[in-house]
Amino acid sequence: MAHPGFKDMARNPRPKIGTVVLEFDTPGIGQILKAAGLDFIFVDMEHSAFSFSDLKRTLRYTQAAEIPVLVRVPSDRYDHIARALDVGADALMVPMVGTAEQARHIVSCAKYSPQGERGFAPQVAHDRYLPGPVLAKMRAANRRTSVWAQIETAEGAENADEIAAVRGIDCLWVGHMDLSCSLGIPGQYDRPEVKQAFGNVVNAAKQNKKLLGRMVQDVKTGAAAYAEGFEFIAYHVDAWALHEFMQANVAALRKRCRKRAA
């Protein structure tokens, strides 16, 4: 790998800060975000229109920038998981993980024998099209590939300890909005039910020595999340960030122009 993977980054306790890409599939995206100081990119296939062809192209852009990519696939289907890894995802996240059985299925789809049942395709995007001994390639991929379970349902929060205990699951990612929706109180993060569910996930990760991750929309929330134990933090979403920046600054520009005109 030309750039450090997520397992390499995890050895350093400092915060690892990324952002979510679900709109701007552009050749410069990797270098733009690397130049901005980000540690990783979170490419979202669950809520975007990105196809696997789009993903494959985007991953070549990010490889050129030497910035690792976490890919959230649409579901826990084998073809979603294996194809995302085959086209070069450094880490893979599956949404709506609710049970340890589901977590074991995800690991099996993501790992080669003997850890899983992923089909082997040599000399394609995931191994930079390089030849080499089959067993060595499979072992290297199993070591390098990071598998993340997104906990965003009441069921997942309740079973967080069992999910975290599954061998091959490296990180629990809290989906805060959907978790609150699953509890029947959308967006009410200060409610005891939401705090308890969050606490279950945080404690499960810590007890099982697994990583924690989540998305945040502001600096204050991100700093608080890191203090709580979240090492991987996705700050903002590409489309939201552009909207927020333009809305605030266009309004400020119009205000100044009105003053000048007066």
Question: What are phi and psi for residue 214, nearest 5 degrees?
Answer: -165, 170
* CB-CB contact of 213 with 171 (8 Å): yes
Is the peptide bond prior to 192 cis by the omega test (within 30 degrees of 0)?
Answer: no
Q: Which residues of 175-211 are buried (b: 16+ CB within 10 A; e: fewer)?
A: bbebbbbbbeeeeeeeeeebeebbebbbebbeebebb
DSSP symbols for 212-241:
EEEEESSHHHHHHHHHHT--EEEEEEHHHH
Report d(CA 241, CA 228) in Å as an integer: 25
Strand 146-151 to strand 40-44: parallel, antiparallel, or no bridges (unpaired)? unpaired
Side-chain-side CA neighbours of residue 43 (13 Å) = 33
Omega into 114 within 30° of 0, i.e. cis? yes
Nearest to 97 by CA among 51, 23, 165: 165
236 is catalytic: no
Residue of 3, 47, 176, 243 marked catalytic: 47
First to last CA, the chain: 59
C-alpha to C-alpha distances, 109 to 106, 141, 184, nearest whole angstrom: 5, 13, 32
Catalytic residues: 47
